[in-house]
Amino acid sequence: MKTILLVLLGCLPGLAYAQRGRPGLIRPGDSTVELALLLTLNRNTQAVYWGFGPKKMLARLDTTTAVTGETLSRKAMAYVAQGDYETGVALLEKSTQIDPKQYRNAGSVYLYTLHDYDRALRYLNAFDALTPDFDDTDGIYPVSYHKGLAQRNLGHHAEAVREFSIGIDSLAKKHGAEWVNYKQYVSRAIAYLALQQPDKALTDLEQAAKNATSESPLVLFYQARAYRQMGRPTDARRALQDAQFFWQANRVKGITQPEDTNNPVTEEDIEAELNN
């Protein structure tokens, strides 16, 4: 599986956005980290690039005599990758019955691939309940962040803010706000905007801009939306123009994917906002 991860990382320039002063955003670890990376390629249901293909992965897993929650979860992921969602979901459900730790994998599949946000939230809550005094992380984001995304996709923006804040505030209190992944601030800012609280959104986006490796079209795009809610159209247009400029600069560098698959902003989105 680590081979798959390395192949995947080489194909995803969009994952290169890291924190300022950090050695990198991605820390490969257990299969859950690999699953999260594979499933955040795109928020649309689609086949996942495996390097040697899901069929070969299934063939390799079939040689494993021990039936564990982890092996079933990997099989489920392979079936989902090749579009056999019915078999994949059945194996995913079975994996959680054998090993409750697979609740997180199941939650990720339902959240990022199948877009079943109610079921995703149920499994993520079940996983979180295994360690009620600790906000587990998959090496990139805390489980509270994934729960926040599920709540936001369900239209529960106040609950989303609460979940996002659990991960942000605990890390900021322990190590400082600069250690929080900037995309977490962006996600909470989007929820604040949905709640018509642009001042709070702008505060989060200003911190996100400080934490991002370089000028972020994603951050600038949502800063423009915050300015617009605040009745500051000149500042909104300036932020959008900057977002457009840095998007084009990234394209020259070969970066053509949105920074964040959870909050995808494209050049077309920026242009449409400018034309509004």
- For residue 218, pLDDT over 50 is answered with yes
DSSP 176-195: -GGGS-HHHHHHHHHHHHHT
Burial class (CB in 10 A: 0-12, 13-18, 19+), 118: exposed
Give residues with Cβ within 8 angstroms of 237, minimum separation 6: 224, 274
Give me the mean pLDDT over the 102-130 stretch: 94
Per-residue model confidence (pLDDT) at position 120: 96
The three-class DSSP label of residue 41 is coil
Instruction: Give residue 3's pLDDT.
Output: 36
Q: pLDDT tens digit string along 154-182?
A: 999 999 999 999 999 998 998 899 999 99
pTM, two decimal places: 0.77
Q: What is the DSSP string of 215-259?
A: --HHHHHHHHHHHHHTT-HHHHHHHHHHHHHHHHHHHHTT--S-S
Residue 276 has pLDDT above 90, yes or no: no
CA distance 224 to 129: 38
pLDDT band for 78, please (50, 70, 90 cuts): confident
Question: 10 Å Cβ neighbour count for 109?
Answer: 25
Q: Residues 224, 225, 231, 234: what is their CA dihedral angle, to the nearest 10 degrees? A: 20
pLDDT band at 64 (very low <50, low <70, confident <90, very high): low
- Looking at the chain, the whole-number percentage of residues with pLDDT higher than 70 is 76
Is the pLDDT higher at 15 or at 125?
A: 125
Q: Which residues of 154-165 are buried (b: 16+ CB within 10 A; e: fewer)?
A: eebbebbbbbbb
